[in-house]
Structure 1
Amino acid sequence: MSPRPTTPSFLPGPAVDRTVCEGWRRWCKTWNDFVPAPVVTAQEFARMTPRQRRFYNLYRLATHSSLPIQATPMSEAVARTVRARAEDGAFSHKAGTRAGVMVNGNGAQGKTETVCTALAAFEEEWLALHHYMNPDSMPGTRDLVAPVAYVRCPVKATPISTCQRILDFYGEDYKGMRLEDLVRTVKTSIMEHATKALVIDDITRLKLHREADQDVLDLIREMMSMPVTLILVGVGIPNSGLLREGRRDPKTKEWIFQPVKDRGRSPNEHAASQHERRFELVDLDPFHYDTSHGIAAWAAHLRGLEGHLRLLNDTEGMLTGEDMPEYLFARTKGVVGVLEKLIQRGCRLAVEDGSERLTKDLLNQFTVTPDDMPDLDAGSGEQPDIPPHKSAPQKRRKGRNTVFDDNGPSRKTVG
C-alpha cells in the first residue's frame, strides 16, 4: 500500500470559533503557530519544477492571507489596560464589583485581536498558577474551567440574545428561559466555570430604541455585580447610550461626559453614570501622520510588514522607500485592517502578473471596499471609513506568471 500523501503545512485546519469554550482554547494555543513561507530568490524560484513553483505560490498566498498581527503603540496601550484590569479583578480577594474596561474605536482597528491576545496571555498564566484545574471545583468532579469567556453580540442584539450567546460559550441549555432566568443562569455559569474575564464584542449592536427601554443598561448593571471583569468592545461607545453622551478632549485625549439629564420616565436615570464610574474607557486609534512621532511609528509598522512579504524581489524598502509611506497612508488613513487588505490583494496581483513587487501603479489598479470585510456590520458603524480611490486601468504585461493556472491532469495519447 502506498503511503498516504502528506498534507501541505500551509493548509488551514478546521475553522476556529472563539465564541465557544473549546474553540477559544484552541485559538489560544494556535493563534501564533502559522509558519510563513520561506524566503526564495528569483533564481531559486526559476530552478523549481512547475509543481514546486505552484506549491510555493500557494504557500506564499497563505502567508499573505495570514499576515501576523503587529503590535502598534496604540494597541500595546490598550492591551496593557485590558490585562491590568483582568489581573486586578482576578487576584482581588474582595467580593465587590470589579472595575471593567470599554475598548472603543472605529472598524478594522484591531480591537478584537488586541483584546483577545492580551487575555490569551492572561489565561495561560492563570491556568498555570492553578495547574490547569478549577480551584473551586467539587471533589470528585472535573468541572470545565474557563478563565476567559469571549462572545459577540448578534446583529440587532437584545439582552435576551446576548445572554444566550454567553450561555452558548459554556454549552448551557437555555431553551424556554425568560430574561430573568437567563441572567441568573449566566451568573451561575460564570461562577461554576471560574471565569475571571468576560468579553462582549460588538457591544454597540445593543441599542436603546425607547426612553423607557432600559433592559440593556439593566443587563450590564447586573453583570457588573458578578465577580468577573467585564470587557466591552465596540464602535462609538461614547455616543451609543451605554454611557452618557461625551466628547473627546483634543489635548488630554480623555473622554468628557455631559451632566446627567432628566430621563423622564426612566427608572434608571443614573445608570449610565454608574457605568462611567465603573468602566475605564480606552480608545484604539489609527496611526496619525501629523507629527514626527506618528510618522516614525507608521514607518516602523510598514517596515515590519515588509519582513513578512514573500515576493521574489527584495522587499526591503518596498513599503518604506521614497513616498510609499505617504501613499499608503492616503489609501488607508492609518487603519491597520484596510492596510492589510490592500497589501494582501497587491501581493496576489504582483505574483499573478510576474512583477513580484508592490508599486503605486500596481496598487492603483484596485480599491479596497467594505465587501473585503464582510464580518463588519455596516448598520452598527463597524465598517471603516475607506478613502475613495478611483482604480486605474489594469496594464497588460508580457510574460504573465502562469503558476496559478491549472491545466488538469496530463493525458497520454492512445495509439
Structure 2
Amino acid sequence: MTSPALQPDPGSLALSRKEDFKAFVDAPRRSRPEALDRNTLRALTAPERAAYDRSRRQWHANLGPIRTPQLAHLHEDLWDIVDSNLQDGDQAKGAVAVDAFPGLGKTTAVLAFAREFHRREIAEHGPFTAQGHERWPVCRVGLTGNTGMKDLNRAMLEFFGHPGRQTSTATQLGLQALDCVLSCEVRLLILDDLHFLKWRRTSGIEVSNHLKWIANEFPVTLLKVGVGLADKGLFSEGEALGETVLAQTGRRTTRLDMPPFTIDTEKGRRQWRQLLLALEQRIVLTDAYPGMLADDLSDYLFTRSTGHIGSLMTLVNRGCQRAQRTGIERLTRDLLDQVRNDEAAEQARRELEYAFRAGKATSRPHGARTPT
C-alpha cells in the first residue's frame, strides 16, 4: 500500500496517462473539514489555522460532483449503453456522444461515470487479465484542434506509456493501440474535446473513418465528449462534401446531452433548490447557516450562473475563498458582487437581472422561505 506521503497530488494529475487515471479512480473520498465556531477559530495557533484554512481552500475548490438530475439521467443512459455492448467480437458496438454547451458539467459527469465503471470492472474481474496483463477498463484521450489519425493513435499509446509511440508510422501506431486495448481488456474509450476536430476538413474525415475502424475492430464502447457535435456534422446524413462519409457515425452513435437548470416550471425550480441545498451542506464557513444559498441567494445565484452548473460552482468556490480570506465567513450578495465569474455568465446575466427585478421570474418553488 502506498503511504499517504507518496500519494500523487490530486491537483497535478493528467488523466490522459494511466497511472494518473488510476490515482483519480482510487483516490479516497475527500474528508469534509470540521466547521468551527468563531471562538474555536480564534483559539487555533498560527500553524493550526494555516493548516485548517488550507484544508478548506482545497475542499471548496473540489465541491463536486453533485448528483444532479442531469448527471443521474446521463449515468443511467450510459449504464444502459455500456452494459448492452456485450456483443461478440464480430459485431460493432454502439457509440455515445455527450454533446452539450460548455459549463454544464459534461466532462465532470463522464469522468464520474468512468470512475464507477472502472471500479466495477476491477471488482468483478480483478486487476489483472487471464494473460497476466494489467486490466485497464477505461482509456481516456483528450483531442486537440490539430488531431489527425496518427495523433489519435499516439495519444492512445501515450495513455499506456507504450515505448513505440514516438517512432512508429500511423498504421503501426493503430495496431499497437489495438494490441494495448486487447491486452489490457479496455471496455470504454473516452475521447474528450471532440469538437476541436475540423470535421469537414481532410484530417476530420480521416479521424472519422479511423473512429469507424476502432468501432469495428476494438471491443470497446466509444464515448465521445464535445460541444456542438451535431452542428459540426458528426451525425449528418446529408450529401454535401464529407457528410456522407460521416453518416455511418450518426447511425451508430447515441447522442446524450446535459441541459442547464431552468426555472420556468415548478419542477425546474424544485431541482434548482435541491442543488443549492446540496451545496449548502458542503460549504465550510464559520457563519454559514441553513438557507444561505437556497433561500437568501437563490435568484441571485441563478442570475449569476444562468442555470449552468459550471458557472455556479465557479462562483460559489471563489466566493468561499474570498469569504474565508477576508474573515466574513459567509456568502452574501455584497461579497459575491465582488467576485468575478466566467465571461459567458457575466454577459448573459443582464437580461435575467431585469426579469427578476420586474417580478417576471423567480427561482424559488412554492412554499420556499422569502429571502431576508
TM-score with structure 2 length normalisation?
Answer: 0.85
Matched position secondary structure for 1:340: helix
Q: Paired residue for 2:178, among 179, 187, 201?
A: 187
Aligned equivalent of 2:90? 95
Q: Paired residue for 1:70, among 66, 72, 76?
A: 66
Aligned equivalent of 1:168? 158
Q: How does 1:121-270 map to 2 (within 5 A)?
A: 121-135=116-130, 137=131, 142-172=132-162, 173-210=164-201, 214-225=205-216, 226-244=218-236, 259-263=237-241, 270=244
Q: Paired residue for 1:313, among 282, 287, 291?
A: 287
What displacement does 1:181 show? 2.5
What displacement does 1:272 show? 2.2
State the alpha-carbon separation in 2 of the partners of residues 73 and 164 from structure 1: 36
State the alpha-carbon separation in 2 of the partners of residues 281 and 170 from structure 1: 28
What displacement does 1:232 show? 0.3
Matched position secondary structure for 1:232: strand
**Worse overlay, 117-126 or 285-294:** 117-126
Matched position secondary structure for 1:231: strand
Checking the alignment, whether the CA contact within 8 Å between 1:146 and 1:194 is kept in structure 2 is: yes
Change (3 A) 1:326 1:125: same
Structure 1 residues not aligned, in runs of 5+: 1-6, 245-258, 371-383, 391-415
Change (3 A) 1:98 1:13: closer
Checking the alignment, whether the CA contact within 8 Å between 2:306 and 2:349 is kept in structure 1 is: no
2:276 maps to 1:302: yes
Change (3 A) 1:156 1:16: same
Checking the alignment, whether the CA contact within 8 Å between 1:330 and 1:387 is kept in structure 2 is: no
State the alpha-carbon separation in 2 of the partners of residues 232 and 309 from structure 1: 33
What displacement does 1:144 show? 2.3
Deviations 1:170-202 (A, max 9, x none): 111223333233222222221122111100111
What displacement does 1:278 show? 0.7
State the alpha-carbon separation in 2 of the partners of residues 290 and 178 from structure 1: 55
Change (3 A) 1:276 1:13: closer
Aligned equivalent of 1:347? 320
Q: Paired residue for 1:46, among 42, 45, 54?
A: 42
State the alpha-carbon separation in 1 of the partners of residues 155 and 244 from structure 2: 27
State the alpha-carbon separation in 2 of the partners of residues 159 and 63 from structure 1: 40
Matched position secondary structure for 1:52: helix
Checking the alignment, whether the CA contact within 8 Å between 1:95 and 1:227 is kept in structure 2 is: no
Change (3 A) 1:229 1:366: same
State the alpha-carbon separation in 1 of the partners of residues 122 and 325 from structure 2: 46
Change (3 A) 1:188 1:211: closer
Aligned equivalent of 1:380? none
Aligned AA (2:281): G
2:31 maps to 1:58: no
What displacement does 1:262 show? 4.3
What displacement does 1:286 show? 1.5
Matched position secondary structure for 1:368: coil
Matched position secondary structure for 1:199: strand
Q: Paired residue for 1:80, among 63, 66, 76?
A: 76
Aligned equivalent of 1:329? 302
Aligned equivalent of 1:23? 20
State the alpha-carbon separation in 2 of the partners of residues 169 and 362 from structure 1: 43
What displacement does 1:41 show? 1.4
Aligned AA (1:25): K
Checking the alignment, whether the CA contact within 8 Å between 1:148 and 1:198 is kept in structure 2 is: yes
Alignment: residue pair count: 346
Change (3 A) 1:355 1:210: closer
Checking the alignment, whether the CA contact within 8 Å between 1:73 and 1:297 is kept in structure 2 is: yes
Instruction: Flag the structure with larger Rg.
Output: 1
Aligned AA (1:233): V
2:29 maps to 1:33: yes
Checking the alignment, whether the CA contact within 8 Å between 2:303 and 2:349 is kept in structure 1 is: no
TM-score with structure 1 length normalisation?
Answer: 0.77
Change (3 A) 1:212 1:107: closer
Checking the alignment, whether the CA contact within 8 Å between 1:103 and 1:232 is kept in structure 2 is: yes
Structure 2 residues not aligned, in runs of 5+: 351-372
CA RMSD of aligned residues (A): 2.6
Aligned AA (2:54): L
Deviations 1:75-117 (A, max 9, x none): 111111222222222x334520000110011112221221122
State the alpha-carbon separation in 2 of the partners of residues 130 and 88 from structure 1: 18
